[in-house]
Structure 1
Amino acid sequence: MSTSHFQERSVPAAQDGLSPASPSVGSASRGANALSSRITSVLSASYADLEIRDVLETLDARGIRNTAETRRQIRLDVQKEVIQCNGEIVKDFGAVAEQLKRIGTAISSLNKYCADMRGHIAAANRETGPVLEEATSLMTQKKQIETKQQILDAFNTHFTISEAESTILTSTAEPVNEEFFQTLTRVKRIHHDCQVLLGTEDQRLGLEVLEKSSRQLNTAFQKLYRWIQREFKDLDLENPQINASVRRSLRVLAERPSLFQSCLDFFAEAREHILSDSFYAALTGSSSEAQHIATKPIEFHAHDPLRYVGDMLAWAHSATVSEREALEVLFISEGDEIKRSIQAGLESEPWLRSEENDEIFDGRKALNQLVSRDLTGVARLLRQRTEQVIQSHEDATLAYKIANLIGFYKSTFTKLLGAASEVLEVFTALEGSAMRQFRGNMRDHVAAVQGEIAVAPADLSTPDFFEDALQMLKALAKSYDTSIATADDQENAFQSVLTEALDPFLAGCETLYKGLPKPNSDIFAINCLLAARAVLSPYSFAGDRVREMEDTMGEHTARLVEYQHQYFTYTSGLNSLLEALSDISDSPETLKAIPTLEAFKPEALINSSQQLDEFLPSALIDAVENIKHLRNRKMVQDITEEAARQFCEDFEFVESKILAVDDLLYGEDESEEEPPLGIRDMFPRTSGEIRVLLS
């Protein structure tokens, strides 16, 4: 299309009525330049431009053909369309302008109305302003009053109790139950929280609440104190299910240490009377109260002093165990609650704290002290009855058995109540009284026996007074062994018994021993020591004394061996030979002098040999006969065998000297057909033969 357009435009240019030979050369030149510029412009145009492409697409959409007529009309048509569009726009803007006029009129009307409204509002504000200010003030006051009401309600809820709760807390007509403890806990919290009120600028309210809560607490604790006292009067400690409220009440009352201690004193006094009555009922079978005694009264066995005292001590022990178990439920089952309560009470009442003892409260120690106080009456009655038994009997063995029995129960009560218990003083006094009675009775008995000591028995057996003493000692040792004395002090404690019950009688036997000839004196001493050792050897606590006796018996045994040895040497005739050889050494010079000795001359040596032969057949029997009164057969055999062994050694010594002399004098001279008669020929017995005959 463009090509045709350029073609059509170029034709009229050449045929525009101007001849080529136009005289106007400058015009032609300018036309050529315009055309060239036109062509250059067309050629330089970018047909890839979006606007040109949109124009061409618009022309194609209109279906316009590229003709001369179209090219002439297109500009006019376009301008016409533009004018029409502009007319429509102007028409539309006229409608808009009309609407804007109407809007302006409406706006003016609205502005007028707004001005009127502002006037009315300002008038209304002027009229309602005071009312609004007053309403705002009232609302603020309402909020403040509501806040104060909330504070007051919170204060009343936390710092005050109702009349009903006050009645429960302070009225003695109301029971001590869960509500009482809950109310008491709340009042204690109020009393504690008053510190917050006292920290404010106005302390009047805090002081008033503190004073009121203090009065309520004091009244409540007094009520609790009286209630516990009433409960203690009817409290059955034999019941394993002791009222839990009593335990709780004691724990709470501990916050007032003075009331708590007063309550314990009251309880101890009440329990002392009850246990004393029970002990008296057990003793006599009668009581101030109507009771049925299922068992026989303890005094029914008063004829048996040891059983009588044992029954009383057993009853006291049983009562102590029961009392401790029951009170342990009351005071220890809550753990350290009572200790913490007493500590809190001492913090609120610091003037009650003792500077001497830093320990606030020891539950076990307090329990032991309370049980000891409960047993005061029983211990007093027990001491009276036991001392009557001790003083009314002169049997030393009985007094010592009673002392051991008391010592046994003393150690038991020490483990049960502790070493600081006051009850132990009673046992210590009774044990000391029984031991004094034992020593006094023993000294009287020894004094009586000393006047009866005359001579030892003919058979050298233990005297009757010593047998009786050993029987008594046996009973004392058995009693001491069953008393389970302290292991560290067993021997020392029993040593005093040996001093009183054995040593004086051994001294009496020693007096008899000194009046007897040998060997009867040593036999008698050994018999007495053997009897004493047989009594004491089963008991480990008498080990030192048994070893002392064995050492003493060893000394007497050695003297008996020496006596038997001398019997062998003198009776056999060997003694003269031993005396003759006492100064002879092993040198040849002294050995050659032996034949010249009086005892080794032929006649004397032959007599000694004959005397030895007569002695040997019955030597052992005769020797045993010398100590036949010794009660221990084995000792008789051992002593005789030891004496025979020493005799054999002496004979070997004599034999060795005889052989040495014969070898020295006759062994070197072998020229003679008949050698002279040697010492050995005159004393032919050998040591081997002696050992066989004396074995």
Structure 2
Amino acid sequence: MSTDYLLTSKQSGLSDGGDSPISPAGTQPRSNPLATKVTSVLSASYADSDIRDALNLLDIRGIQNSSETRRQIRLDVQKEVIESNGDIIREFGHVAEKDQIESKQQLLKAFDTHFIMSEDDIAILTSTAEPVNDKFFSVLARAKKIQNDCEILLGTENQRLGLEIMEQTSKSLNGAFQKLYRWIQREFKSLNLENPQISSSIRRALRVLAERPSLFQNCLDFFAEAREHILSDAFYTALTGTSVTGEEDTSIKPIELVAHDPLRYVGDMLAWTHSATVSEREALEVLFISDGDEIAKGIQAGRDSEPWNRISEDEDDSSSFDGLKALNELVDRDVAGVARVLRQRIGQVVQSHEETIMAYKIANLLNFYRVTFSKLLGDDSALLESLSTLEESALRQFRVLMRDHIAGLQADAQAIPPDLGPPDFLQDGLKQLTAIMRTYDTSLTSLDTREADFQPILAEAFDPFMKACDNIGKSLAGSRTAIFAINCLMAARNTLASFDFTSGRTSDMQDSIEEYAASVTNDQYTFFQTNSALQPLTQALAPLSDSEKDLLSIRSLPIFQPTALTQASQTLDDFLPSALMDAMENLKHLQSSKLAREITEEAAERFCEDFEKVEEKLIAADELMEEEGQGSKEGESPEPLRALFPRTGGEIRVLLS
């Protein structure tokens, strides 16, 4: 076959046995397609494996070397190539379909792995037989992520699938939170708050449960109720030494037996309550606050997911969860039972004792603890409200007892002491007030309102005594009224001056003392004027001016006639030697010798000034008379006024100094 093919090719490539045309020397051969083809065939290497394979393929097919075959072989080969390519394409199509199915299977597997929870996981979440451990919280976190990711499906064509998965997941989550809720309640029953190492699993469970605010609040209610009973029983044991079941606790000294007086009894109960409240708060801080604001975040997330549970539709950020406020409210609820017992027992103490000072001391002690608890629990506290009510009750009892005491004093005839000193009832009242002020001085009242807050106490325990003194002082005559008032005011002022929260009232009393002192000074001045016979002289000279006419008219006045003026001079001389002693005798009942001396000195100074004015007028009148009498006959000039009234201002000041 090969030989025939070569022979045929050679024969077909030559023309009638003639030689191939040769180009003349020096010229380029002409391009002959046949010659080119022959040259190509002859230049090929027939040892090439591809050519051998092609020739073998032609032998296998039994193709004869004929003109028809040669014309048809190209078409046949091309047809076979096209058919082969079609087969290949069809096979690759099948392969592509197998890849799509595998991708879908992988996608479905990934979808199931992410969105579908296994029966075991659902059992871990909802079955009470399964423990609440790390595995539970891990599965719970996955369920919450599935629920959140379902929102993506709701935004695609697969909304029905997303709704079905979300419904199933929500059902599992609700079961999980119910299981967690019941588990926390069981744990609360055996939880020991006195143990500083409180289980971290409880804290984590509370943080997670906070995402269901209603369940979280129910847990807090259950916990508060349980703790209220525990603390109430403990308080009863502290009071009596026996438990509510009647078992005696020998390790406790009962408050009812140890406290020997009402104040100690009330103080011990309040101290126990404060200690229990502090311990409760510290323990609950570890339980609810130690993890920062995780509970707050959980509750806010729960509110966002359960908007129907909000109190109002227009709830804003101001209603967000406040961990500190919630802690205070929980502690306050825990000690609510103790507060009720405290209110009952202290109320009995207040009503059963009729000692005025004791009632006030109890009120002040209640005020101290009220301020302390306000810093511990805030202003909105049931315990704080109980203490405020008890404080008001004790103050009301104090006012009633004080008014009864004052009414008793008014009923008894109160005689003024002979020495015009403070009466006994005032001294007793000031002694009582001192005890009250010492008690108030230890209170925790604000420095800004300290004095204002004490004014009601003064109105009850001080003002009635001063008013009684004022009433009985009106029965005295002359300066004795003012002296008695000064003595009472100075005793009260000295009592109040020891405390800084009575400075305003002390200043008011000092003003009153000065007013009464001015009145006594006027009386002393009148004493000097009257007993020295200077008053008629000053009264006669008062309307006269320094004019020549007025000065000349002095001699015509009756009081300045020789006999009358000589008598006035004699009276003055008789008065001056003992004037100061007599004046001081007038103030012998004034208990402040310093004030008596100051009053007398001021009155004497005014008397000296008046005397000097009289002296100046008399000298001026004598000088004017002497000038007018120089041209008259000798012996006709009247006797000088100064000769009849010779005392000088300097002499008066010396005698009264």
Match of 2:648 in 1: 686
Cα distance, 1:450 vs structure 2: 0.2
Match of 2:11 in 1: none
Gapped runs of 5+ residues in structure 1?
1-82, 84-95
> Which letter maps to 1:473?
L
Pairs within 5 Å for 1:152-171: 152-171=108-127
For the residues of structure 1 that align with 2:203 and 2:276, how far apart are their CA atoms? Answer: 21
Residue 239 of structure 1 aligns to a residue whose secondary structure is: coil
Retained in 1: the 8 A contact 2:422–2:484? yes
Pairs within 5 Å for 1:129-278: 139-278=95-234
For the residues of structure 2 that align with 1:111 and 1:517, how far apart are their CA atoms? Answer: 161
> Which letter maps to 1:461?
G
For the residues of structure 2 that align with 1:305 and 1:684, how far apart are their CA atoms? Answer: 78
1:93-122 superposed Cα distances (whole Å, 9 cap, x missing partner): xxx99x949968999977542324678999
Cα distance, 1:308 vs structure 2: 1.9
Instruction: Flag the 1:572–1:103 CA change in 2: closer, same or farther, 3 A.
Output: closer
For the residues of structure 1 that align with 2:348 and 2:503, how far apart are their CA atoms? Answer: 35
Match of 1:425 in 2: 385
> Which letter maps to 2:654?
V
For the residues of structure 1 that align with 2:151 and 2:404, how far apart are their CA atoms? Answer: 79
Normalised to the residue count of structure 2, the TM-score between the two structures is 0.83
Residue 476 of structure 2 aligns to a residue whose secondary structure is: coil
Normalised to the residue count of structure 1, the TM-score between the two structures is 0.79
> Which letter maps to 1:336?
D
Q: 1:637 aligns with which of 578, 597, 606?
A: 597
Cα distance, 1:181 vs structure 2: 1.1
Pairs within 5 Å for 1:601-640: 601-640=561-600
Whether 1:381 aligns to 2:338 is: no
Match of 1:74 in 2: none
For the residues of structure 1 that align with 2:262 and 2:315, how far apart are their CA atoms? Answer: 44
Pairs within 5 Å for 1:388-399: 388-399=348-359
For the residues of structure 1 that align with 2:587 and 2:628, how far apart are their CA atoms? Answer: 49
Alignment RMSD: 3.2
1:364-421 superposed Cα distances (whole Å, 9 cap, x missing partner): 2212211221121111111101110110111222222222222232222222222222
> Which letter maps to 2:492?
A
> Which letter maps to 2:402?
M
Instruction: Flag the 1:511–1:347 CA change in 2: closer, same or farther, 3 A.
Output: closer
Match of 2:265 in 1: 308
Cα distance, 1:522 vs structure 2: 0.7
Retained in 2: the 8 A contact 1:298–1:311? yes
Retained in 1: the 8 A contact 2:236–2:244? no
Retained in 2: the 8 A contact 1:453–1:508? no
Greater shift, 377-386 or 480-489, is seen at 480-489
Residue 593 of structure 1 aligns to a residue whose secondary structure is: helix
Retained in 2: the 8 A contact 1:197–1:205? yes
Instruction: Flag the 1:275–1:420 CA change in 2: closer, same or farther, 3 A.
Output: same
Q: 1:115 aligns with which of 30, 37, 58?
A: 58
Q: 1:340 aligns with which of 297, 306, 322?
A: 297
Whether 1:571 aligns to 2:531 is: yes
Q: 2:283 aligns with which of 301, 308, 326?
A: 326
For the residues of structure 2 that align with 1:312 and 1:352, how far apart are their CA atoms? Answer: 41
Which is higher, the Rg of structure 1 or of structure 2? 1
Match of 1:471 in 2: 431
Retained in 1: the 8 A contact 2:522–2:603? yes
Instruction: Flag the 1:294–1:624 CA change in 2: closer, same or farther, 3 A.
Output: farther
1:336-377 superposed Cα distances (whole Å, 9 cap, x missing partner): 211221122222222111216431312122122112211211
For the residues of structure 1 that align with 2:540 and 2:463, how far apart are their CA atoms? Answer: 47
Match of 1:484 in 2: 444
Q: 2:420 aligns with which of 456, 460, 468?
A: 460
Instruction: Flag the 1:357–1:134 CA change in 2: closer, same or farther, 3 A.
Output: closer
Match of 2:360 in 1: 400
Whether 1:660 aligns to 2:616 is: no
Greater shift, 653-662 or 123-132, is seen at 123-132
Residue 542 of structure 2 aligns to a residue whose secondary structure is: helix
Cα distance, 1:543 vs structure 2: 3.0
